[in-house]
Structures are given as structure tokens and as C-alpha cells.
Structure 1
Amino acid sequence: MTDDLEDLKRRLVVGHKSDGRSVYDEAAKSQLVALCLQPGASVSRLARECGVNANQVGRWLREHGHGGRARKAVASVVPASAAFVAVPVPPASPIAVRSCDDIVAVMDVQARLPNGVAIDLRGVQLRHVGEVIEALGRLRCSASTKD
């Protein structure tokens, strides 16, 4: 655990109620919420390292207007029904020659699924690109599997 996270853990709980529930410092709660909103941050890991239940941190995220999950902002950028995200592809050599009489068009296909999986296929024949895209479109994938 980093020193900053250790310091946050020390400052987070400021006391206990008579029924045993913890009383939390508002500034430390806000700092933990900010950490949870960082790209690649795991809410459950940060909660565990700070000694707080992940559901409690989720509640703080909702209270701070973040819908309970740090990655909801990412999910709202890419609609759940969208199977693909636009990925810029640098131009490549579009034609490969097998023989003098047989010219076959090939291309590179790159796709990034909403759950963060990147697919990079090199040298796909143009006649197969449609089949590849259809197969990728049939994959069951949601942004919620990125954790």
C-alpha cells in the first residue's frame, strides 16, 4: 500500500457510534471517491485497502453524483447496444499479390470491444472482412465485465 493510501486509511475513520458503526471524515471520503474515479481504479480494491466495505464506497460515489460506479461515465460514452468503438487504423498496403493472375485484396482489422478487449487481425482477405465483423457483432460483451 502506498504512503498516500496509508495516510488516507488513517484519516478516514474518525470515531465510532454507540452501535459500532464508523464515523468517517468528509475530506477523506471525498479523497477516496476521487481515487475511485481515476482511470483503471478498482473500487473494491481501494475500499478493501482502506478498510471500508465496497458497498459503502459505492454509496459515497452515488452521494457525490457518480451513480455508484466510477466507470458509468465510460459506459455512457459507448451505448450498451454498440458492439464496436471506432478505432483509427493507419493506412496499410491494401493489395497483396499471390501470383501474376490472382490479386487478392487484404486489410488489417482492429476492434475494441466495450469491455476493453482489443482485437487486431492482420492480413484479412477483403471477402472475409464481413464474416469477421458479423462474428464480432454476435459476441456477448458488456462494459460491466471490465473490472
Structure 2
Amino acid sequence: MYADDFKAQLVRQCLVPGTSVAATGMAHGVNANLLRRWIVMHGHAAAPAPALLQVTLQASPPARTPPPCAVPSEPQVIEIEIHGVRVRLHGQVDAQRLGVVLDALARRT
């Protein structure tokens, strides 16, 4: 059905490194399986399978989530009374700033 010269030409094209047998066959209207058979018939080994790389999987560390008590579900209120002075704090409290306020109140006595 196909001329021997035509087959030999396609086989030579397929032997060029990086050439796709399927793409070469499609470009010339020849089924890739038939073209692979021609390559073997012309004394060439079929294209080697691509080398596989070793893959190692490692479990990722669990995501760090804050403890349930770190996220209040209701508005938080802290009320402190020192020497007749009442301090009421709402929401999240910065511990460092609270310490400054309490130190200032303690020095007033």
C-alpha cells in the first residue's frame, strides 16, 4: 500500500531525537501504530519508554490552629478594680498594654 521509500523516509524522521512518532504519523496520514511497526521492520528498536523519576512522598505537618479558647465566641469583658479605680476592657486585650495600665495604677497609691 505504501512505497518502501516513503516508509524509510518516515522511519528516518522518527529516529531523530525528540520527534514524536504520533505527530509524524498524523502529519503524513499514517497511523502511529503502523509507523512503529515500520520502525521495527527497518531494524530499529522501538522508541524507549521515558525514564520514570523516583518520587518520595512525605506527610506535611498538621496545620497549626489556635486552641478553641483563643477565639472567643462571645464578646469578652475584663473588669479590674484597683484602689477605687475600675478598669473595664472589652474584646481582645493586648497583655503588654494592660500591664502598662496596671503598673501606672499601682504607682498612684
**Normalising to structure 2: TM-score of the pair?**
0.45
The structure with higher relative contact order (CA 8 Å, sep 6+) is 1
Q: Looking at CA atoms only, which structure, 1 or 2, has the larger radius of gyration? A: 2
- Name the one with the larger strand percent: 1
